[in-house]
Structure 1
Amino acid sequence: MPRQRSREQRPKREGKRPKSLEFLQSIDAEQQVLAAVMREPECVDLVLDVITSPDVFSVGIHQTIWRAVLNLYDRQVPSDITTVAEELVKMQALDDVGGRVYLIELVGGSVTTANVVEHANIIVEKARLRKMAMELTAAVEEAVDGQLESSELVERVDNIVSGAVEERKVEVFSAGLLVADYIMELTSPQKQFGKEAYLETRIGALNGQITGLFKEDMTIIAGPPSMGKSSLALDIAVWNTMLGKSTLYFALDERLAAMKQRLLTSATGITNARLYQGRFTEAEIGAMTEAMGRYLQNDRTFLTSRTDMSVVDIRAVSRRHKRRYGLDAIIVDYVQLLRPHRDFERRDLEVAEQSRLLKALAKELEVAVIVVSQLNRDYSKLPFNPAKGLYGFPQPSQLRDSGALEQEANIILFTWNVLRAFMLHGFSQDTAEYRKEKNYFLDGVERAFIVVAKNKLGPPAVVECRWDPKRMVFYSVESSSGGGQGYDDDAPF
Structure 2
Amino acid sequence: MNFNIAPPQSKEVEKDVLSVMCNRPELIVKVEEILHSECFYDPDYRFLFDIVFGIHLAGGEVSQSSILNKVVPSGKKDILATYQEMKKYFTSDTALWRNAMLLSELAVKRSMLTKSMQLLGAVEANEPIEKLDTLVNEASDIMTTRNRPIEGITFAHSLDELNRLIDRPETKLSGIDTGVKDLNDVTGGWQVDDSIVIAGRPGMGKSLCGCFHAYTAAKLGIPVAFVSLEMAKVKLTARIVSNVAHVSSSDMTKGRLAMNQKTIVRDTMRKIEQLPIYYYENRNSWDINDICLTLRNWKRKYGIQLIFIDYIQLIKDRTVRDSSDKTKVVTSVQEKLTHLKSSIGTPIIELAQLSRANESRGDKRPGLSDLKNSGQIEQDATVVIFLYRQDYYDATAAQERGEEFTPTNDLEYIFAKNRDGEMGTVLVKASMSQNRIWSLNDGSPP
- Per the normalisation by structure 2, the TM-score is 0.67
Are 1:476 and 2:446 matched, yes or no? no
Q: CA deviation at 1:338?
A: 0.6
Q: Give 2:406's aligned residue.
A: 439
Q: Conserved in 2, the CA contact under 8 Å of 1:328 and 1:367?
A: yes
CA gap 1:376/1:181 in 2 versus in 1, 3 angstroms: closer
In the alignment, is residue 351 of structure 1 matched against residue 330 of structure 2?
A: yes
User: Which residue of structure 2 lines up, in the alignment, with residue 395 of structure 1?
Assistant: 367
- Within 5 Å, give how 1:196-345 maps onto structure 2: 196=174, 198-276=175-253, 278=255, 280-297=257-274, 299-307=275-283, 308-345=285-322
Work out the CA distance in 2 between the residues paired with 1:461 and 1:286. Answer: 42
Q: Partner letter of residue 410 of structure 1? A: T
Is the contact made by 1:136 and 1:160 (CA closer than 8 Å) also made in structure 2? no
SS at match of 1:115: helix
Bigger radius of gyration among the two: 1
1:365 maps to 344
Report the CA distance between 1:131 and its aligned residue.
Answer: 9.2
- Inter-partner Cα distance in structure 1 for 2:75 and 2:247: 65
1:417 has 2:417 as partner: no
Structure 2 CA distance, aligned partners of 1:158 and 1:289?
41
Q: What is the identity, as a one-letter code, of the residue corresponding to 1:355?
A: Q
User: Which residue in the other structure is 1:88 paired with?
Assistant: none
Alignment-mate amino acid for residue 159 of structure 1: T
Cα deviations by residue, 1:364-405 (Å, 9 ceiling, x for unpaired) = 111011111111111112323xxxxxxx31001210112211
Contact 1:465 1:475 survives alignment (8 Å)? yes
Matches of 1:273 and 1:170, distance apart in 2: 49
What CA RMSD, in Å, does the superposition of the two structures yield over aligned residues? Answer: 4.0
How has the CA–CA distance of structure 1 residues 140 and 216 changed in structure 2, closer, same or farther, with 3 Å as cutoff?
farther
Q: List alignment gaps of at least 5 residues for structure 1.
A: 1-18, 30-49, 51-111, 123-127, 385-391, 488-493
Give the corresponding residue for 1:429: 399
Partner of residue 138, structure 1: 114
Name 2:377's counterpart in structure 1: 405
Name the TM-score, length of structure 1 as normaliser: 0.61
Distance 2:288 2:70 in 1: 49
The letter for the 1-side match of 2:380 is E
Q: Counterpart in 1 of 2:73?
A: 116
DSSP-derived class of the 2:273 partner: helix
Q: Helix, strand or coil for the counterpart of 2:266?
A: helix
| Contact persistence 2:238–2:249 (CA under 8 A) | yes
Q: Structure 2 CA distance, aligned partners of 1:116 and 1:279?
A: 75
Q: Secondary structure at the match of 1:448?
A: strand
- Does residue 383 (structure 1) correspond to residue 362 (structure 2)? The answer is yes
- The reply on whether 1:183 has 2:166 as its aligned counterpart is yes
Q: Deviations over 1:413-435 (max 9, x none)?
A: 111111103357xx343659x86
Identity, % of aligned pairs? 18
Using the TM superposition, give the Cα deviation of residue 273 of structure 1 relative to its aligned residue in structure 2, in angstroms: 4.5
User: 1:266, CA displacement in angstroms?
Assistant: 2.4
CA distance in 2 between counterparts of 1:413 and 1:300 reads 26
Q: 1:97-176 counterparts in 2 under 5 A?
A: 115-116=72-73, 135-139=111-115, 156-157=142-143, 159-161=145-147, 163-164=148-149, 167-168=150-151, 171=154, 173=156
What's the CA shift for 1:460?
A: 1.4
**For the residues of structure 1 that align with 2:172 and 2:262, how far apart are their CA atoms?**
33
> 1:344 and 1:113 mapped to 2: Cα distance?
49
Partner SS for 1:199 = coil
Distance 1:378 1:232 in 2: 23
- Structure 1 residues 142 and 278, CA, compared in 2 at 3 Å: closer, same or farther? farther
Structure 2: runs of 5 or more not aligned: 1-9, 12-39, 48-57, 59-68, 80-103, 124-131
Runs of 4+ residues over 6 Å off in structure 1: 117-120, 130-133, 142-148, 152-155
* Mapped partners of 1:277, 1:114: distance in 2: 68
Counterparts of 1:11-22 in structure 2, within 5 Å, are none
Q: Which position in structure 2 is the counterpart of 1:45?
A: none
